[in-house]
Each structure stands twice: as C-alpha cells, then as structure tokens.
Amino acid sequence: MVHQMIPTSNSPAPRASSNNNVMVQRLLACGWMAAIVGSLVACGSAPIYAPPSAPPRAEPTRSTTPPLDVPGTLTQSKSRWVPVPWSDLPGFADDSLFEAWNAWLKSCERPRRCLWPLCPEIRRLSIGSADEQRAWIQARLQPMRVETPQGEATGLLTAYYEPVLEASRLPTAQFNVPLYQPPGSLAQRKPWYTRQEIDTLPEAQAALQGRAIAYLADPVDALVLQIQGSGRVRITQPDGSERWVRLAYAGTNDQPYRSVGRWLLDQGLIRDASWPGIKAWLAQNSQRQQELLWSNPRVVFFREEAITARDTSEGPRGAQGVALTPGRSIAVDPASIPYGTPLWLASTGPQTTLQKLVLAQDTGSAITGAVRADYFVGWGQEAGELAGRLRQPLQMWVLWPKPPR
C-alpha cells in the first residue's frame, strides 16, 4: 500500500456497549499519571534526569501466560497492549535517541492528556546525552507489546513520502493535469463524484470550475500526490517566476480508496505491485493509463501552504496536527494507538532493518488494525523509491507511562 496521509473518520468509534473492564483499564492508564503531575510541576528548575545510583529493580521474566491474563494488560478498541521487560525490545541499547527527540518535542505541542505531564522532562532532556535519555525512558515508561485482540503480535510495515514536483499556475500544453481545492458543493453531495465522473461529467467539471490550484504534466504524478496526501511543488507563476509551496490534504470526494497495484494484480497483469513495478507496466501499456487511473475512484483535494525556511527540514502536518519527522514519524490506526504515543518499532525485510524509537503522529485510509504502521521516509526521489518498495513484517511496543510505585 502507498500511504494516503489523510485524517479519516472511517475507523469505527468504540461502541457504547464496551465492557466495563476496558473502561476501567483506560481510566487506570490515565490515572497512573496523577502522581507524576505533581513531581513534574515542582521540578521547573530541576537538572536533566540522572540515572539512579542504585541498581534498577530486576524486570520480571516474560510470561508464558496467554496475553489476556498478563497483569497490567491494557485494551484499546482494536488492540491489546501486553507489558514486557525491556530486554524484549530488539536494538533498544543502540538507537540514536536524539534523532527521535525532535519528533517527541513536536508531539508535546499537542499532547494527549495521559502523556502531557511527561513533556516538561522531555523538553529538558532534549539537551541530554543518549544515556540520560535512555535511563529516563526506562525509569518513566513501561514497554507494552502491541497485539491484535486475538494475540497476534506481527503485522505489516509500509512507508510513505512527500513527492517533489514541478507545476504551472496556469494550464499549458505541457502542464494540463489540474489539482483542485475542495469544491463548494463537497458537503452537499456525499459521496461526491468519482474520479471517472470528474473527468467525464459536465456537472462535475462545472463544480470544479475555477478551483484548480496548479497543473501537473503527468496524471500518474497527480495520482501519486493524492495517494501520499501532500507534496512539495515548484509552481511557475504567470509572470515566469517560480514559487515553492506545499500542497496539503484538504478533503476527499468520500469515495473508497482502491489500490491501482491491487487492480493490476487481480487482473494478472503484474507480479510487482510496487510503484516502480506499476510505472514499468505503464511504460509498456500507455493506452491503458486512463483505465488504471479510473480504477481508484477516490480523489484528494488540496490547499496551498507556503514553505518557510523551517519547513525545508520538516514534513507536512500529520493527523496529530504536528509536523512529521523523516524516519521518526509513523502513521497508525488511532483505534489501536493514540496520536502522540512513543513506540519502539522493529522490522526486518529485503529493503531495510529498522529498530528505533518512533512517534505515532499520523494516520491513513489504508492504515487499519492493531500492528500496522506507515513509516514516513521524507521527500524526493530517493524517499519515493524506498516508500514504493517497503512492505515487510512489523512488531511494535508502546512506551506507556508507568503507574506510581
């Protein structure tokens, strides 16, 4: 899957009939923080966290009891979090944690109620050493293995990126593929017109009259931009000058997302459904390009955002509302992992091996289920090549505030 970096309301909300045990567990998860709040409020001038001089308390060995019976297990709408010892986290002693700290600081700009009391210490530790940061994490947080409600702990990791494209403000012979801002009638018609209807129906085209932000040269690039959800675009203005902008997600036509790679696989047309494989097929079958595009009825609409000097080193804003950090931000199913949650991610496959601290800061229409993540790899061609091929097994551990002793 190639990511659609879009806030979605398709994830079902917890049902009102959820059992009381789930509700109590969630309240306890937040309740752990009550004793921590006072200590953090009182330590405004405290030094950076130092490891305790006494040996840390020995962690219990990993239980062979079924996950549902493990004490301290927490239940979310789509996942179960099972407490484990730190030794279960592969590579935890080797990660360059300072690379993740900026992403963590961004999550502290819009923290969840259960996590915000940690933010003062997180800010102070931004100038701490890796040993200080690691000791603080182990002292303050409890690793929890993320599982499906059925106990499956292995899922799927994919990746997404921000395309970098050339465009024109006005249509030309070369740049004639429009990218639209949301039409005025979007809220009145749900679902709105499909991709094919937008291209062929006069009433759909009339509704989009005057709504084009810019024009691309390649309709496949437009599709990729819509799937990724945002992109950096250098737009040629009518006076010939150029301007870099970000085209950010602003809505969809509420049609279902259909993978063009899956469409090709189902017809037996390709074996490699990565973007390089799809583009290779298109190079040999250009006469079927329109058919492929129309196989995905979903269209994404954009808004234009200026790119500042700071933006050149940051990604777009994810569903949490903070800028994404390449290599440290992931998209998750918010019914499994709340936004802003720190996690340990482990994935080994043909493209890369990842063992690192990441932050749950985004979501996507195809990012559903307990052990499922989309890894933000940055922007440009190299990032696009990795994002187009990365699809490998995944394990995740939530790093959740410990209860007071």
Domains of the chain: 162-310 (2.40.240.50)
- Cα 30 to Cα 7: distance, rounded to the nearest angstrom: 25
Residue 52 has pLDDT above 70, yes or no: no
Per DSSP (E only), the strands in 281-404 are: 300-306, 329-331, 342-348, 353-362, 372-379, 391-401
Q: pLDDT band at 310, cuts 50/70/90?
A: low
Q: How confident is the model at residue 55 (pLDDT cuts 50, 70, 90)?
A: very low
Residues in Cβ contact with 400 at an 8 Å cutoff, skipping those fewer than 6 apart? 29, 74, 81, 141, 142, 144, 341
**pLDDT confidence bin for 330, thresholds 50/70/90:** very high
pLDDT of the residue at 282: 94
Identify the band that residue 276 occupies on the pLDDT scale cut at 50, 70 and 90: confident
Residues 354-405: tens digit of each pLDDT: 999 999 999 987 899 999 999 999 998 889 889 888 999 999 999 999 876 6
Rounded (5°) CA angle 229-231-232:
165
- Higher-pLDDT residue of 38 and 390 is 390
Residue 17 has what pLDDT? 34
Q: State how far the Cα of 224 lies from the Cα of 281, in Å rounded to an integer.
A: 15
What pTM does this model have?
A: 0.75
Mean pLDDT lowest for which of 5-19, 308-322, 370-384? 5-19
Whole-number pLDDT of residue 364: 84
| Residue found under tokens 């405004």 | 44
Average pLDDT over residues 218-237: 93
Q: What is the band of 241 on the pLDDT scale with cuts at 50, 70, 90? A: very high
CA dihedral sign, ordered 336, 341, 345, 351: positive
Q: ∠ at Cα 109 (105, 111), nearest 5°?
A: 95
The label of the residue with tokens 């994830």 reads 11
Question: Could you tell me the two tokens for 295?
Answer: 């196989």
Please say whether the dihedral angle defined by the alpha carbons of residues 227, 305, 221 and 391, taken in this order, is positive or negative. Answer: negative
The model's confidence at residue 340, banded by pLDDT at 50, 70 and 90, is very high
CA neighbor of 168 nearest in space, from 102, 101, 245, 223: 245
Give the model confidence (pLDDT) of 144-153 as tens digits: 999 999 999 9
| Residue 250 scores a pLDDT above 60 | yes
Integer Cα distance of 240 and 236 in angstroms: 6
Average pLDDT, integer, range 174-196: 95
DSSP structural state of residue 282: H
Mean local confidence (pLDDT), 80-89 = 96
Sign of the Cα pseudo-torsion (260, 352, 8, 368, in order): positive
H helix runs in 46-192, sequence order: 97-107, 119-124, 130-140
